[in-house]
């Protein structure tokens, strides 16, 4: 697909409408090569009531970043469907309330940077204009980028996904180059296969060397977002030697 990236300010007005009445409806859900974040996986597998390992096996494929050695998780390619998302139907997305963050952002792309001096996180947006998308021709009420994002309920995805981006940034500074395979496996388990991560904690003594407060263990049992946060801290511990501060 031909695409154009146009930088846009969050306060700028964008004319865009996506609905089932558009002639391009569902086209953006096909011909995919879509990376998925740990929080995307968490939301989708819970929507379907599936353990993370089963979801990953059925719907995704895992690749390795050629320079970083980090695991990259995408929807499993299916040429028979035109590489369509496994959850797209004629009526639209079957898991719409828990769709991935990149789907919520479209037709926007988002990037972040963090100041080394102040630690402040800055975000940047760009419009993605693709030939197949006719939403920009549908003028049914202009809205700012901020208003569009609020309507897509993307704030929580951005909040969670930014933690992953900061972890990767730290890795690139402290451990440049490729991770060892066992390190990549730990990364994948703790962040993507979190039900397996939970099982390793409670049934295989993964945290036996750590002084984990009982209240934290109680939260791990049934709070997936909390477990995902702890997974990021555990990766920082095993890769960089950072102390785990148990909070919550």
CB 160 within 8 A of CB 37: yes
Same-domain pairing of 195 and 98: no
Tokens, residue 34: 């879509």
CB 177 within 8 A of CB 67: yes
pLDDT in tens, 107-117: 999 998 877 77
Domain boundary among 124, 153, 182: 153
Same-domain pairing of 94 and 184: no
Tokens, residue 98: 């828990």
- Domain count of the fold of the chain: 2
Same-domain pairing of 87 and 207: no
Domain of 37 in residue numbering reads as: 3-153
Same-domain pairing of 139 and 93: yes
In the predicted model, is pLDDT for residue 64 greater than 60? Answer: yes
Tokens, residue 113: 């940077």
Domain boundary among 104, 122, 153: 153
In the predicted model, is pLDDT for residue 100 greater than 70? Answer: yes
Same-domain pairing of 129 and 178: no
pLDDT of residue 17: 81
> Which of 8-17, 101-110, 220-229 is predicted least confidently?
8-17
pLDDT in tens, 155-212: 999 999 999 999 999 999 999 999 999 999 999 999 999 999 999 999 999 999 998 9
Sign of CA dihedral 199, 75, 185, 192: negative
Contacts with 121 (C-beta within 8 Å, 6 or more apart), sequence order? 112, 113, 114, 162
CA-wise closest residue to 52 among 184, 44, 113, 19: 44
pLDDT of residue 28: 85
Same-domain pairing of 9 and 130: yes
> Which of 19-33, 68-82, 185-199 is predicted least confidently?
19-33
Q: Is residue 159 part of a domain?
A: no
In the predicted model, is pLDDT for residue 139 greater than 70? Answer: no
Same-domain pairing of 8 and 63: yes
What's the CA gap between 50 and 2, in Å, rounded? 36
Q: Please state, for a pLDDT cut of 90, what percent of the chain lies above it.
A: 69
Tokens, residue 216: 């934290």
**Which value, in Å, is the radius of gyration of the alpha carbons in the chain?**
19
pLDDT band at 143 (very low <50, low <70, confident <90, very high): confident
> How many C-beta atoms lie closer than 10 Å to residue 47's C-beta?
16
Same-domain pairing of 177 and 144: no
Q: Is residue 158 part of a domain?
A: no
Domain boundary among 128, 153, 178: 153
């Amino acid at each position: 697909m031909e695409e154009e990236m146009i930088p846009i300010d969050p306060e700028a007005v964008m004319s865009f409408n996506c609905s089932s009445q558009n002639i391009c409806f569902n086209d953006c859900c096909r011909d995919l090569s879509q990376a998925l974040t740990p929080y995307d996986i968490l939301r989708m597998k819970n929507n379907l009531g599936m353990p993370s390992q089963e979801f990953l096996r059925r719907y995704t494929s895992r690749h390795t970043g050629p320079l970083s050695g980090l695991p990259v998780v995408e929807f499993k390619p299916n040429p028979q469907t035109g590489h369509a998302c496994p959850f797209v139907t004629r009526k639209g997305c079957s898991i719409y309330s828990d769709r991935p963050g990149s789907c919520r952002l479209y037709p926007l792309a988002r990037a972040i940077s963090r100041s080394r001096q102040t630690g402040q996180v800055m975000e940047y947006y760009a419009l993605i204009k693709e030939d197949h998308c006719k939403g920009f021709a549908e003028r049914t009420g202009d809205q700012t980028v901020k208003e569009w994002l609020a309507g897509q309920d993307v704030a929580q995805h951005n909040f969670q996904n930014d933690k992953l981006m900061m972890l990767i940034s730290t890795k690139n500074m402290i451990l440049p180059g490729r991770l060892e395979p066992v390190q990549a496996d730990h990364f994948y388990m703790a962040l993507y296969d979190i039900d397996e991560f939970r099982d390793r904690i409670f049934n295989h003594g993964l945290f036996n060397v750590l002084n984990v407060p009982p209240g934290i263990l109680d939260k791990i049992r049934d709070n997936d977002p909390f477990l995902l946060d702890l997974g990021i801290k555990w990766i920082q511990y095993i890769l960089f030697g950072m102390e785990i501060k148990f909070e919550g």
